Structure 1
Amino acid sequence: MTVRTETTIEADPTVPIIRLARDFAGTPEQLFRAHTDPRLFASWIGPGSLETRIDQWDARTGGCFRYVSSREGEEFAFRGCFHEIRPDRIVQTFTYEGDPDGVALNTLWFDDLGHGRSRLRTQSLVDSFESRDGWLRSGMRTGVDEGYAKLEELITRDAL
Structure 2
Amino acid sequence: MTREPLHISLEGERAIRMVRRFKAPRDLVFAALTTPALLRRWYAELVSAELDLRVGGDWRIVTRRPDGREIGQYGTFRHIELPSRIVQTEHWEDWDPGEVLVTTELSEDAGITTLDVLSEFPSSDVRELLVQAGMNDESVLHYDRLEDLLAGLE
Answer whether TM exceeds 0.5 for this pair: yes
3-state SS, counterpart of residue 157 of structure 1:
helix
Paired with 1:76 and 1:68, the residues of 2 have a C-alpha distance of: 5
Paired with 1:124 and 1:41, the residues of 2 have a C-alpha distance of: 19
The alignment status of 1:83 with 2:78, answered yes or no, reads yes
**Pairing partner for 1:62 from 52, 56, 60:** 56
Superposition RMSD on alpha carbons, in Å? 1.6
CA contact (8 A) 1:110 1:121 kept: yes
Residue 101 of structure 1: how far off its partner (Å): 3.2
CA contact (8 A) 2:103 2:119 kept: yes
Residue 5 of structure 1: how far off its partner (Å): 1.5
Residue 54 of structure 1: how far off its partner (Å): 2.2
The alignment status of 1:137 with 2:132, answered yes or no, reads yes
Where in structure 1 are there 5+ consecutive unaligned residues? none
> 2:34 matched to which residue of 1?
36
After the TM superposition, which segments of 4 or more aligned residues of structure 1 sit over 6 Å from their partners? none
Cα-to-partner distance string for 1:33-82 (whole Å, 9 max, x where unaligned): 11111111122113xxxx21225321222111111111453111111111
**Pairing partner for 2:21 from 23, 26, 29:** 23
Residue 93 of structure 1: how far off its partner (Å): 0.5
Where in structure 2 are there 5+ consecutive unaligned residues? none
**Residues 56, 127 of structure 1: CA spacing in aligned structure 2 closer, same or farther, 3 A cutoff?**
same
Q: How many residues align?
A: 150
Cα-to-partner distance string for 1:74-109 (whole Å, 9 max, x where unaligned): 111111111112211000001122222332000000
Paired with 1:132 and 1:40, the residues of 2 have a C-alpha distance of: 28
Paired with 1:121 and 1:133, the residues of 2 have a C-alpha distance of: 20
Identity of aligned residues (%): 31
The alignment's TM-score, normalised by the length of structure 1, stands at 0.87
CA contact (8 A) 1:37 1:59 kept: no
The alignment's TM-score, normalised by the length of structure 2, stands at 0.90
Q: Given residue 54 of structure 1, which amino acid in structure 2 is its aligned partner?
A: S
CA contact (8 A) 2:106 2:115 kept: yes
